[in-house]
RNA sequence: GCUGACGUAGCUCAACUGGUAGAGCAGCUGAUUUGUAAUCAGCAGGUUAAGGGUUCGAGUCCCUUCGUCAGCUCCA
């Protein structure tokens, strides 16, 4: 391996360098500034250290701080610096994994006692010293014996080491006093990591396995620039400011009370109004699209769920059985339902169906109960009593594509056209624990794929993320501050029609098995409303706002006039209230703003005499408009009717 | 469910190393009649999450249970 190698750059140009040249040398051959900015390199699509020798012809791209790949490298190095500092302060700490993640990095440690906030401060300070020392990250390739020797005191690393195949290169990275078994790559030296922050510590199972020991994980984040780090910390604060649990209390939308139990939502009148509008939107829309509404019970004989296969497979998520109804045999038990599908299936199966009837689309906004682990509950976003905007479609094989296509269109109508939310799609394929044969899954996954492609939609793959009864398309919503949320799911199901022996008479007058689909556009009203609260920061568009107009008389003399106006608004279908409390106008305006009421209609003597109203728009400050009352009502009605997003 | 932190009035928070619960806002009453983000005064409000223990004495220390939070696992 002597002589020259040919390096192809991203612009297509080719440079000849001596064999064994490093990516740093490539960068230097291009320019000093690039060499100075270089963080790592992409060699044949794989990210390498700048200092790693290249022995063969290769395509090389120099990574600088403005690439996403470089940020991952930086964060990976940050994790090592974290571990370096922890090892110095806590020599007894055993190291686990320390990868970069989407919004930062973490490192797992096995330590005798958990880290305290004070520990984090000390660790962060020590990290700054490690950065100041600017230790180079040195890569070495070692054999298994050597690696075993080096990590003899780190059982977690040894465990990982033994999983590596014989054909895999074993590499270790050293920065100053710290050595880690690591695939790399890293920035050239610890001095490159200047802008970072440790965020919090929490327990995490080793290898993510709840049967194994709990390690202590420290999370942090890192950026190339001070501004980026500051912006991230601001974003985190902003997310806190929008917390739906806090806003839900302030705006009197909902509560969760110990007397009722965790994960069970009390929708107060204001929150219920939002739910009501969402139901109205989806029900109006699906009726136009050929769905039929149904209602089914909250509890059922548990036999139904054995037949559907939920029991015992889904039992960990179901509430325990209740005793039989009065006068029934004792061995008959009842369960609350965690899903609606078996009931909708029984409606389908309640009479003979013809191929001419299909597709049959049964919809129900229904409450179901799932016994989620207590530690997973989180405000409205993760609950035990769920309100699903559920529907099941029974159709022929040849109708699948069209049905999926229409569901994707409905999804777009609701999420994008109505709420202005961006979203992306994921095709989730067969999980390990599943019902049905691989052949059936092949057909099902293929059908979803074709529908997506027909809709010319781009989508990602979530391998193994499907439900146990079929593959699904998951919709990930993006909110106002860029966070992603699990919303809509569309699932194909070949299994339940089989279990319930569903049939329709074909044009050949022979029995056929229909295909079934499950879908929920909002997902659950709880999670969707929770997401909306954070998305809008509580400032709902007029059509969703629990209180659309608040009428404020300036003084006692206008109370009767204000009440009359409130009646006019209410008669026009506008949710209105009067704040005629014995407080200053300033006080009442402030209260209206804090409650995020979109419009305050101020009525003074002048307005009453002229038949006008002084309109204060939420968030617009002192700027106000004097409008004839008719005109104001027309404007609000218009915004409600079109479900306008502003104000 | 697991690890850790936490739980004081409706809300946000005080209360020295154990010494006998306090403030602002909200609420109620009254005065004030207000022109676009907090008028003034008075009153009321707590078995300190629940239960048990240590102590002369527990909001404070210990145990159990419940709940909340940060994560893990799981998930709409």
Q: How is residue A24 written in tokens?
A: 């740093």
- Arithmetic mean of pLDDT over chain A: 91
pLDDT band at A288 (very low <50, low <70, confident <90, very high): very high
pLDDT at A575 over 80: yes
Q: Give the pLDDT confidence score for residue A289 in this predicted structure.
A: 97
Q: Which nt sits closest to A609, CA to C1'? A: B35
pLDDT tens-digit map of A356-409: 999 999 999 999 999 999 999 999 999 999 999 999 999 998 898 899 999 999
The string of pLDDT tens digits covering residues A299-317 is 999 999 999 988 888 889 9
Tens-digit pLDDT profile for residues A181-233? 998 899 999 999 999 999 888 888 898 887 888 889 999 999 999 999 999 88
Q: Which nucleotide is nearest to A625 (CA to C1')?
A: B36
Query: According to the model, what pLDDT value does residue A554 have?
Result: 95
pTM score: 0.90
Kindly state the average pLDDT of the residues A260-274. 95
CA A323 – CA A207 distance, rounded (Å): 41
Which has the closest alpha carbon to A235: A197, A204, A193, A194? A197
Closest residue (CA) to C1' of nucleotide B69 is A378
**pLDDT of A247 strictly over 90:** yes
DSSP-derived secondary structure for A122-175: HHHHHHHHHHHHTPBEEEEEE-HHHHHHHTTT-HHHHHHHHHS-TTSPEEEEEE
Please report the pLDDT score of residue A495 as a whole number: 85
Residues 336-395 of A with CB under 7 A from strand B: 370, 372-379, 381-384, 386
Q: Which of residues 465-484 of A touch strand B (CB under 7 A)?
A: 467, 474
**Minimum mean pLDDT range among A35-44, A328-337, A464-473:** A464-473
Taking the CA of residue A610 and the C1' sugar atom of nucleotide B32, their distance in angstroms comes to: 28
pLDDT tens, residue by residue, A432-441: 777 778 887 8
Q: What percent of chain A has pLDDT over 90?
A: 62
Q: Which nucleotide is nearest to A590 (CA to C1')?
A: B37
Determine phi and psi for A518, rounding to 5 degrees.
-110, 140
Report the 10 Å Cβ neighbour count for A22.
17
- Taking the C-alpha atoms of residue A632 and residue A210, their distance in angstroms, rounded to an integer, is 59
Predicted complex ipTM: 0.94
For chain A, give the percent of residues with pLDDT over 70.
100
Q: Whose C1' is closest to the CA of A381: which nucleotide?
A: B76
Evaluate whether A381 touches A531 at the Cβ level (below 8 Å): yes
What is the structure's pLDDT at A321? 92
Q: What is the pLDDT of residue A2?
A: 63
Asked if pLDDT for residue A544 goes beyond 80, the answer is yes
Residue A526 Cβ under 7 A from any strand B atom: yes
Across residues A71-96, what is the average pLDDT? 93
State residue A262's pLDDT score: 93
Helix (H) or strand (E) holding A120: helix A117-133
Q: Which nucleotides of B are covered by protein (CB under 7 A)?
A: 1-5, 11-12, 26, 31-39, 66-76
Does residue A1 have a pLDDT over 70?
Answer: no
Q: Residue A552 CA to B70 C1' — how many Å? A: 43
Q: Is the CB of A593 under 7 A from strand B?
A: yes
**Backbone CA torsion sign across A425, A427, A433, A437:** positive
Residues A396-426 have pLDDT tens digits of 988 988 999 999 999 999 999 999 999 989 9
**Is the CB of A486 less than 7 A from some atom of nucleic acid strand B?**
yes
**pLDDT tens-digit readout, A135-156:** 999 999 998 989 999 998 888 9
A210 touches strand B (CB under 7 A): yes
């Amino acid at each position: 391996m002597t002589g020259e190698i040919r390096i192809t750059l991203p612009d297509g140009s080719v440079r000849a360098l001596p064999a064994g040249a490093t990516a740093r040398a490539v960068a230097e051959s291009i320019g000093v500034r690039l060499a100075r900015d270089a963080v790592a390199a992409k060699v044949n699509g794989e990210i390498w250290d700048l200092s790693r020798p290249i022995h063969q012809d290769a395509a090389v791209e120099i990574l600088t701080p403005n690439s996403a790949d470089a940020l991952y490298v930086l964060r990976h190095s940050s994790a090592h610096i974290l571990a370096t500092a922890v090892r110095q302060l806590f020599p007894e700490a055993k190291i686990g994994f320390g990868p970069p993640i989407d919004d930062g990095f973490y490192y797992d440690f096995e330590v005798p006692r958990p880290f305290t906030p004070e520990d984090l401060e000390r660790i962060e300070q020590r990290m700054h010293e490690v950065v100041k020392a600017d230790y180079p990250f040195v890569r070495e390739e070692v054999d298994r014996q050597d690696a075993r020797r080096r990590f003899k005191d780190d059982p977690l690393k040894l465990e990982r080491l033994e999983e590596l195949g014989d054909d895999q290169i074993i590499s270790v990275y050293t920065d100053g006093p710290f050595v880690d078994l690591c695939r790399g790559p890293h920035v050239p030296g610890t001095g490159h990591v200047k802008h970072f922050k440790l965020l919090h510590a929490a327990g995490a199972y080793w290898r993510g396995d709840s049967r194994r020991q709990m390690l202590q994980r420290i999370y942090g984040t890192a950026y190339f620039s001070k501004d980026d780090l500051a912006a991230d910390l601001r974003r985190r604060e902003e997310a806190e400011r929008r917390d739906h649990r806090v806003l839900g209390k302030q705006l009197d939308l909902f509560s969760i009370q110990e007397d009722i139990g965790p994960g069970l939502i009390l929708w107060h009148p204001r929150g219920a109004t939002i739910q009501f509008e969402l139901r109205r939107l989806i029900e109006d829309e699906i009726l136009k699209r050929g769905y039929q509404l149904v209602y089914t019970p909250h509890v059922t004989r548990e036999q139904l769920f054995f037949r559907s296969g939920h029991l015992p497979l889904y039992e960990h998520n179901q509430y325990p059985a209740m005793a039989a109804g009065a006068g029934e045999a004792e061995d008959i038990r009842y369960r609350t339902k965690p899903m609606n599908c078996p009931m909708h299936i029984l409606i389908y199966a309640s009479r003979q169906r013809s191929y001419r009837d299909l597709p049959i689309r049964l919809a129900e906004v229904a409450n179901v109960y799932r016994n989620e682990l207590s530690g997973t509950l989180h405000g409205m976003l993760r609950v035990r009593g769920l309100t699903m905007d559920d529907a099941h479609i029974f159709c022929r094989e040849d109708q699948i594509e069209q049905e999926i296509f229409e569901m994707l269109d409905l999804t777009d109508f609701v999420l994008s056209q109505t709420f202005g939310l961006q979203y992306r799609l994921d095709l989730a394929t067969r999980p390990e624990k599943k019902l049905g044969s691989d052949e059936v899954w092949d057909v099902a996954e293929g059908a979803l794929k074709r529908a997506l492609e027909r809709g010319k939609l781009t989508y990602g793959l979530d391998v193994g993320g499907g439900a146990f009864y079929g593959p699904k398309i998951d919709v990930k919503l993006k909110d106002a501050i860029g966070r992603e949320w699990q919303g809509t799911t569309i699932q194909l199901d070949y299994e339940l029609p089989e279990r319930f022996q569903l049939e329709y008479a074909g044009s050949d007058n022979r029995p056929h098995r229909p295909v079934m689909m499950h879908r929920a556009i909002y997902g659950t009203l709880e999670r969707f409303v929770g997401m909306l609260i954070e998305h809008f920061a509580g400032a709902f568009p007029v059509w969703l706002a629990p209180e659309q107009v608040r009428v404020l008389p300036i003084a006692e003399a206008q109370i009767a006039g204000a009440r009359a106006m409130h009646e006019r608004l209410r008669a026009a279908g506008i949710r209105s209230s009067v704040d005629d409390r014995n407080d200053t106008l300033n006080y009442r305006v402030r209260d209206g703003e804090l409650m995020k009421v979109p419009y305050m209609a101020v009525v003074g003597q002048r307005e009453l005499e002229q038949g006008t109203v002084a309109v204060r728009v939420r968030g617009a400050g002192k700027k106000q408009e004097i409008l004839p009352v008719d005109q104001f009502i027309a404007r609000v009605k218009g915004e409600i009717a079109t479900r306008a997003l502003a104000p």
